[in-house]
Amino acid sequence: MKERKGILIVVSGFSGSGKGTIMNRLLKEYPNIYALSISATTRSPRVGEVHGREYFFVSKEEFETMIQEKKLIEYAQYVNNYYGTPKEYVFQQLEMGKDVILEIEIQGALKVKEVYPNTLLLFVTPPSAKELKNRLIGRGTEDEATVASRLSRAWQEVQGVEHYDYLVVNDDLEECVQKVHSIIQNEHARVAKNHVLIETIKAELKGFAEGE
Ligand code: ADP
Ligand code: 5GP
């Protein structure tokens, strides 16, 4: 008997480190293994972002109602906006055996780990701070002041990196995607994630030992 339970994974990293790009590739390559949680946010959509695909874009009032109705696993404020993870989709996908990825910032990551200690925490970084700035500017989606806020937020976030299980350097994109995939799939081999199989083998061995 084989029962593959989904793993809950949090991916954090500085804005501009390439999390979104990595997640896109991972989902394209392994659509049957992974599901990406879609967060709710009060920030405005960037050009090309679609409601219900990148985020659920909601008003501050709508977001606060979601908090009151306990519809979020966690939420946090990031550079003047709310961001949060809706519960329902995440648990539905885990039940179906999918490995569910939350791409969220550090305050949210630590809250998730506190409530669900088996969560795997990955932190993505570019090879250098200079490369981070280049990527943020190169993305061309934020004005100069927002790029500066995000870099200053990155400085705060790096202080919490030791709470994470793995550091993933996003230098060569393809290598990085494969590294993330391996880390997550290796997690399935943990003894603690294989109770059902272990109990089945134990029962069978007991039968042998008793001379069946
Ligand atoms: P995040 O989701 O972490 O904010 P993005 O995925 O939007 O970051 O990436 C920020 C910018 O860096 C984008 O313009 C993206 O195309 C670019 N980028 C991502 N990964 C790499 C990489 N390995 N090498 C070079 N540029 C990258
Ligand atoms: P962005 O505005 O660049 O899309 O996201 C800004 C930051 O918010 C990123 O660090 C992203 O990982 C984080 N974020 C996105 N969704 C959530 C969420 O649901 N909860 C929390 N805590 N952070 C989130």
What is the per-residue pLDDT across 29-47, written as a single tens digit (0 to 9) for each?
999 999 999 999 999 999 9
- Which of 2-6, 64-68, 88-92 shows the lowest per-residue confidence on average (mean pLDDT)? 2-6
CA of 138 to the centre of ligand 2 (A): 19
**C-beta separation of 111 from 8 below 8 A:** no
Q: Which band of pLDDT confidence, cut at 50, 70 and 90, is reported for residue 162?
A: very high
- Ligand 2 near 18 CB (within 6 A): no
For residue 158, what pLDDT is reported?
Answer: 92
For residue 1, what pLDDT is reported?
Answer: 42
pLDDT single digits (tens) 129-157 = 999 999 999 999 889 999 999 999 999 89
Torsion of CA 55, 57, 63, 67, to 10 degrees: -10
Q: Which band of pLDDT confidence, cut at 50, 70 and 90, is reported for residue 4?
A: confident
φ and ψ of 204, to 5 deg: -65, -45
CA of 94 to the centre of ligand 2 (A): 21
For residue 99, which of 86, 90, 108, 111 has the smallest C-alpha distance?
90
For residue 174, what pLDDT is reported?
Answer: 97
Report the percent of the chain where pLDDT is more than 70. 99
> Which numbered atom of ligand 2 lies nearest the CA of 157?
10
User: What mean pLDDT do residues 114-119 have?
Assistant: 94
- Ligand 2 near 83 CB (within 6 A): yes
pTM: predicted TM-score of the whole model, two decimal places: 0.90
- Ligand 2 near 78 CB (within 6 A): yes
- Ligand 1 near 17 CB (within 6 A): yes
